[in-house]
Structures are given as structure tokens and as C-alpha cells.
Amino acid sequence: MAKKIVMKNAIVEMDGDEMTRVMWAMIKEKLLSPHVELRTAYYDLGLGKRNETDDRITHEAAAAVKRHGVGVKCATITPDKNRVGEYNLKQEWTSPNGTIRDQLDGTVFRKPILVRNIKPAVRSWNKPIIVGRHAYGDVYKNTEFRVPGAGRAELVYTDDRGREIFRGTIQEFRDGGGIIQAIHNTDASIRSFAKACMTYALDQKVDLWFGAKDTISKTYDGTFRDLFAETFEKEYRDRFSAVGIAFNFTLIDDTVARIMKSEGGMLWACKNYDGDVMSDMVASAFGSLAMMTSVLVSPQGWFVYEAAHGTVQRHYYKHLKGEATSSNCMATLFAWTGALRKRGELDGTKLLVSFADALEKAALATVEKGIMTGDLAKLADPPARKICGTEEFIDEIGSRLRTVRR
């Protein structure tokens, strides 16, 4: 076997929860450590550790990404009331992804992993659809309140000199209680989002699509529309024309309808909540949530690679009982390869870049040989030759990788 590749600088490693944590350890042990002298700054973002540290560990991990430039993150639990009881939590801790995205003010780009023997559910799609998700603000940075009874809810803005500039009635609650939610965004973050999407569209040489509900939300969504248009006209129109790509803005309803009938091959820019939902839809339609790459890119040049799916809770409960599981590790594996490749590119370590490429090719070749996990076997055409358990699938990838690196 070839010598282990030496990393010049560390990446920030953020461990996670449940079945993805199990796969995380397997990937490191079987696919990475035999080939690379891993250098990581390790942060355990498992729910137990977040609860123990009052979630300080998440903020520390985000600060570490700013120092090191590159991070890789395992899927984590965002607890609801049921999880509070299950894990004996102090409170319903906020989303680690939301915290990290808020700290780094980045844009999340998600792109499906395509293999020849998994056909998209949408028959017209024959090119990958990249979803660019604004990773700041909106419902993920909200303030909300359960209204206990009759009363008035108001929206008030006071400037930094203490002057009240705006006061508007949200709702007069007359017949009992209700709910209130306040969300926000910033001009700087929206402009950063627009620039990130336009720059990435140029890099990928694909059209950029953006949709919002500006006919209803004339100020909130209307500001997204205006700042995207302003950024495009001032900085990107000529650059888009030079490479033959276009920027399209329509209502979000129309955007969805047109994309569903398209052949794919565009970058779809989405506001934070829209991107959360639509990236899962696109991933599922292309095959599986476990077949979606995801990277958070900040304006300052910080990168966090992660799986686009959750913690695979159902499989984890089976795993705890000692039952067989067939969990797909592809997105988690591609999070590692993405982070290692970026580390290699930034540090000028060509061997590390080549290793990341080789590991991805080994994983794709395994699936295209008909060797896959149960989620993909349901979609495979031609049918799967072998349906693997979680660890067995990782071993199959490892076998092909060793052949490449001899």
C-alpha cells in the first residue's frame, strides 16, 4: 500500500449523533486513517455534549472553522420535546447547523451525487440541480411567542439613538391566544448570498434561478428581489453573458413549476427555509437524501462540508438492538472528501486532492457495479447485484480504494 498522505494543516471535525455518528467512525477507521495522517481539531457536537456545555461547544466549533478555514460536520439532532425527555436535556437546544451558519454567514450549496444506475424520479431531469440555500436568518434566527390570551401584538423598531422609527400592529388577539413569530435578515447577508450564488453559477457555468413571494411579502421578499437584481446589474450581467448563462427571477410558485418540467442543469437560489425544504425534495427525487453533497461557503473563504440528511434515527434504534442496518454513507463520505480536497487545494497538497478524488470514484464505482445499500436498491435500474449492510458497504468501497492506491 502507498504511504500515508501527510496533511499540512488541520480541518475542524464536528462529530454528531445517532447512526451518522456510527458511520462517521467507520469511515474514519476504514477509509481515511489507513491512507491519510488525519489532522483534525475535534469537537463533539453530539447532543449529550451540547447539553453538558450549554451548547458552548457549537459556538467553539464555529470559531475554530474561522481559524482553520475548513470544517467537516456530521449530522446532528435538533431536539424537540420528545428528544428532551429521551436525552434528559436541560432545554430544547437550537439547531447546531443554524448556529454555525449564523456565525459564518455563508451560503449552503447542495448538489446531487449522480450514478448511472439510479434514474431521477422526475423523468425530464438528466442534469444535476444545485440548490443554493441562504444560510442566515429567517425562521432559523427567529423570536417567537405563545400568546396566552387577548391582547395586541406589535412590531416596533427603535434606532441606535433610542428613537422609535416604526410601530405597526401585527394582530389584535380578541378571542383567546395564538402565536407570534418575528424573523429578520440583513442587507449585507442578502447581498453576500446573491454574490455567492452568482459566483458559483459562473464557476459551474449554469443558469441561476431565484424565486420569492414578493407579490405578498412586498418588503421582506421584495428586498431579496431588489438586492439580487441590483447585484446582478452592477457586477454580473456582462460576466454571465460572456459565458452564455442567464439569471432568471420569478415568483417561487412559478420557479418550482418550471424546474419540475426542466431537464435540470441550473443553480436554484433559495431563501433559508425554502432551501431547507427544496434541497431535500431535489435529493429525494434524484435518488436519496444520502446522495446529496452539501457545503457551507462564507464570504470570508471558510468552508464547512456536511451530509444533507439527518441522523438516521430509525436505523440507529435498530443498531442499538443489535439488528442489521443498511444505512447509506455516501453523503457523509462526500462531506469528508470535500473537506479533504479543499484542505489540499488551500495547502497545495496535491496528494490529498488526488486521494479525495480516488475515494469518491471508488464509492461511485461500487454503486455502479450494483453493490449498494437498501435505499438505493429500491431505485436501481438494472436491479442491484448485492444489497449491503452499513459496514459491509463501507468495506466494499474500501476494497476498491485499496486497489486504486496500490
Task: Considering only residues 175 and 341, tell me which one the structure prediction assigns the higher pLDDT.
Answer: 341
Give, in order, the Cα–Cα distances in Å from 133 to each of 38, 101, 222, 268, 319: 30, 11, 18, 8, 32
| Grid coordinates belonging to 387 | 444489497
DSSP 206-220: -EEEEEE-TTTSTTH
Nearest CA to 61 out of 157, 70, 291 is that of 70
Nearest CA to 309 out of 285, 287, 279, 274 is that of 279
Under the banding of pLDDT at 50, 70 and 90, the label for residue 157 is very high
| Spatial contact of 166 and 155, defined as CB atoms under 8 Å apart | yes
H/E segment holding residue 275: helix 272-286
| Grid coordinates belonging to 107 | 451560503
205-218: per-residue pLDDT in tens? Answer: 999 999 999 999 99
Answer whether residue 1 shows pLDDT above 70. no
| Spatial contact of 238 and 226, defined as CB atoms under 8 Å apart | no
Strands (E), 185-252: 207-212, 247-251
Q: In the prediction, which pLDDT does 239 show?
A: 96
Q: How far apart are CA 77 and CA 62, in angstroms?
A: 17
Nearest CA to 70 out of 273, 336, 392 is that of 336
Please name the residue that has the C-alpha cell 425530464: 124
Answer whether residue 405 shows pLDDT above 80. no
Task: Considering only residues 299 and 29, tell me which one the structure prediction assigns the higher pLDDT.
Answer: 29
| Spatial contact of 184 and 141, defined as CB atoms under 8 Å apart | yes
Q: In the prediction, which pLDDT does 279 show?
A: 87
223-254: per-residue pLDDT in tens? Answer: 999 999 999 999 999 999 999 999 999 999 99
| Spatial contact of 263 and 243, defined as CB atoms under 8 Å apart | no
Nearest CA to 328 out of 15, 27, 14, 12 is that of 27
DSSP 338-374: HHHHHHHHHHT-HHHHHHHHHHHHHHHHHHHTTEE-H
Q: How far apart are CA 308 and CA 319, in angstroms?
A: 21
70-99: per-residue pLDDT in tens? Answer: 999 999 999 999 999 999 999 999 999 989
Average pLDDT, the chain: 94
289: DSSP letter: G
Mean pLDDT of 124-129: 93
Q: In the prediction, which pLDDT does 220 show?
A: 97
Q: In the prediction, which pLDDT does 369 show?
A: 97
241-293: per-residue pLDDT in tens? Answer: 999 999 999 999 999 999 999 999 999 999 999 998 998 889 888 887 789 88
Q: In the prediction, which pLDDT does 406 show?
A: 67
What share of the chain has pLDDT > 90, as a percent? 86
Q: In the prediction, which pLDDT does 308 show?
A: 83
